[in-house]
Structure 1
């Protein structure tokens, strides 16, 4: 019905996907804390109320249901959001009912900055700041990026690396993936 499209459907036939990730689960930390805290308060207050206040208890339970539904929506949004890096561009797809695709050509990237806070080191995420020629692009700051070092290295190689070596490496990777698919089918 409202099935979000796979981010690979937005790739051109001439593009090769280098990396596809979703944001790290740590980006949901505040939403998890908020949902658990609100549910705990609703349950505790509901049980502390005398039975004569049944209307207020019902309101609290409906509020708790709303909190659960809102959290489920936030998790679903996180699940469908993808960051894709190809040999030609960076893309981010978001949305459940209405899909939004953010895009920036790799050729526009002039500088990359990679940050990894203490919590990022513990849980395995980082922030990457992508700068382009005097413009603020849609994908200029990517927070809670899992495998941020690999994404940083891949984009650096695409932007600043040897183009012929990249083409040879992508051909080898494509051949390996094709061989794996054939092995699974056969």
Structure 2
């Protein structure tokens, strides 16, 4: 793998934990509209450079401006190309950057919720944005923008979560128990009244003697 190829492709395979059986389920490129404006700008810059010789004495200035603007457009296009969101059977991670690369990763079991936002233009052209709610709120993975086929990608993540058994484990541990009014405490059974002990025989004799004396 040459050094030049590192600036042309993120090579997500190098970040996989192969010895643990990690495989890529889906590699998400940015939707073409994410850099469509820069492509249009690049076409205009090429036209500007081509027309520079017709500008008379100031042709070199027009040429310099056109080339500089074309380089900026190329950089922005490549920056969007290098930004990848990857779903594996163990985690999700994002690789971004051309000259300095950034890697943000999050295990599947830390994903709490996924919000899918599809603006009107996104619904027409088939893209959306993901907002992840995780246990650590990883900034590099909280907002994933310009995701093509967002509903399909959302279902892919949900399937990976289900297959990993995370939600079943959460249900067993009680994390997914629905919140509701507390159950009333069970009533305590009253203790039975104590049974009086039988009187000794002598007490009956004394009582009868007193009755006889009182009567006499």
Q: TM-score, normalised by structure 1?
A: 0.72
CA deviations 1:124-155 (Å, max 9, x no partner) are 21111111126343111111101211211111
Identify which of 98, 106, 125 aligns with 1:104: 106
Counterpart in the other structure of 1:22 = 29
C-alpha RMSD of matched pairs (Å): 2.5
Match of 1:31 in 2: 38
Cα 1:41–1:97 change in 2 (3 A) is closer
Q: CA deviation at 1:38?
A: 6.0
Q: Deviations over 1:84-121 (max 9, x none)?
A: 11121111112233322121222111011112122112
> Can you list the C-alpha shifts for 1:45-85, whole angstroms capped at 9, x where unaligned?
985x5x3xx1x331111110111122122222222322111
* Structure 1: gaps (5+ residues): 165-186
Q: Which has the larger radius of gyration?
A: 2
1:10 aligns with one of 15, 19, 38: 15
Name 2:147's counterpart in structure 1.
145
Q: Which moved more, 1:111-120 or 1:76-85?
A: 76-85
The match for 1:178 is none
Aligned residue pairs, count: 158
Instruction: State the Cα distance separating 1:162 from its structure 2 match.
Output: 4.4
Q: What's 1:163 paired with?
A: 164
Distance change in 2, residues 1:135/1:100 (3 Å): closer
CA contact (8 A) 1:125 1:146 kept: yes
Q: Which has the higher contact order (CA 8 A, sep 6+)?
A: 1
In structure 2, the CA distance between the partners of 1:163 and 1:106, relative to structure 1 (3 Å rule), is: closer
Contact in 2 for aligned 1:104/1:137 (Cα 8 Å)? no
